[in-house]
Structure 1
């Protein structure tokens, strides 16, 4: 498992599943000859997109960023449509670290689309139960409201089996939530309630842009997904937080990237450092 140290904070990537989605949808209006150079597709025009939560350990707390795809919850049709080649093994990853799901203190949900939230619940004897029963689950108020009352577009990804069993654990926030070195900020864009994370400690900085920048190939503010509900908000947020990071030499971390866990870019846009994903 790959790790990154930010001051006194340790980040470790867990095994949350793998999907393969249409590359055109993932890059929106960007022409394929451009995006395919940076993130090559398979013969079905799909690109590989892991769904790997990040375990943050700091001040004696175990904090998950996202929950993974889940396991044993998708139908054969859904597995096929989402191009799933591996379901979650978050439990196995935690065991390798000497932990179990009951040891998780917080789960930080940047948004609650199925590929991020599926691992929050598990199916046992036909009943959905909380995977992390002792955790406080943090997400924006807007996201939590839409999760329970989806519109005609979002109902395809906000499913009751992913929230009913954990609703007593959810702590929503409006614009900002903080815990020690971690801060979550509501941005909108990919979903109306989408948020990002900033981790800052001892002069070091990591930014988790979540699905505003799902892969390293989405660094350009204009390269946004067709899946984004509010693409102009995505562009504005990428410009805002890109400007914030410009002179801070931050790590950008990823949930979906098949090649990199985290990267740094110089002022000229060239990659200066990286942590590669080990397959």
Structure 2
């Protein structure tokens, strides 16, 4: 597991699973001739995407950003269609750190698509049980509303088994929420209507988790939006706003989906100056 210290916050990437999705879908209208120079693809035109939650240890509390792919919740058809090569082993990752799921104080959910929210519950007999029973689950009000009443498009990714058994733990917020001193969740919209990012400021140190409006390092260009985005123009505007904000502070940007980098620090000109690489495993079938 990779880890780094940014100001008061210690960040550790947990093993949340991996899937392979169509590169064209992940880069929208961007021609393959451009995006393929920045991110590798296989003979099926698929790119490797992690779904690795970030454990944030800050001020004596344990927070986790998003919850991974989950375990035993996908059908064989979904595993095939979503290119899932590995499910979550978050509980094992926590155990290696001397932690239990019961030790998590809050889940910071950027949004509730299946690849971010399946790890909130696990199957037991004919029902589902909370993985993190003592955690408050923070998510934007807009996202929480759509999760429970998805539209014709979002019904394919907002699943009842990911929310019904944990709804008593959910504390939605409107536009912005301070989690603890210096750490904020901010509603952006874009990828989903209720999508949120995280911003941490500690003196002259800043890190930003852009979630799925910049899912990998290859999506740094403000105009490169996903075909999966419900509101791509909003994604573009929000990315421009928060990249400019971060560049001025030489912020670190952290990733949930990137198969190559855990975090990158950019200077005032938007040039990468420091990296945290991910230790990679070769998937022979891809």
Same fold (TM over 0.5): yes
Q: Residues 1-279 of structure 1: matches in 2 within 5 Å?
A: 1-180=1-180, 181-279=182-280
Normalising by the residue count of structure 1, what TM-score does the alignment of the two structures yield? 0.99
Q: Is the 8 A contact 1:25 1:227 kept in 2?
A: yes
Q: Is the 8 A contact 1:62 1:103 kept in 2?
A: yes
Aligned-pair distance for 1:267? 3.3
| Unpaired segments ≥5 residues, structure 1 | none
Q: Is the 8 A contact 2:19 2:48 kept in 1?
A: yes
Aligned-pair distance for 1:212? 0.3
Aligned-pair distance for 1:246? 2.3
Question: 1-side partners of 2:185 and 2:214: how far apart?
Answer: 15
Question: 2-side partners of 1:91 and 1:154: how far apart?
Answer: 28
Q: SS of the residue aligned with 1:112?
A: coil
Question: 1-side partners of 2:228 and 2:35: how far apart?
Answer: 16
Normalising by the residue count of structure 2, what TM-score does the alignment of the two structures yield? 0.96
Q: SS of the residue aligned with 2:129?
A: strand
Q: SS of the residue aligned with 1:24?
A: helix
Q: Which deviates the most, 20-29 or 124-133?
A: 124-133
Question: 2-side partners of 1:176 and 1:149: how far apart?
Answer: 22
Question: 1-side partners of 2:126 and 2:242: how far apart?
Answer: 43
The alignment's C-alpha RMSD in Å is 0.8
| Unpaired segments ≥5 residues, structure 2 | 281-286
Q: Is the 8 A contact 1:6 1:200 kept in 2?
A: no
Aligned-pair distance for 1:40? 1.2
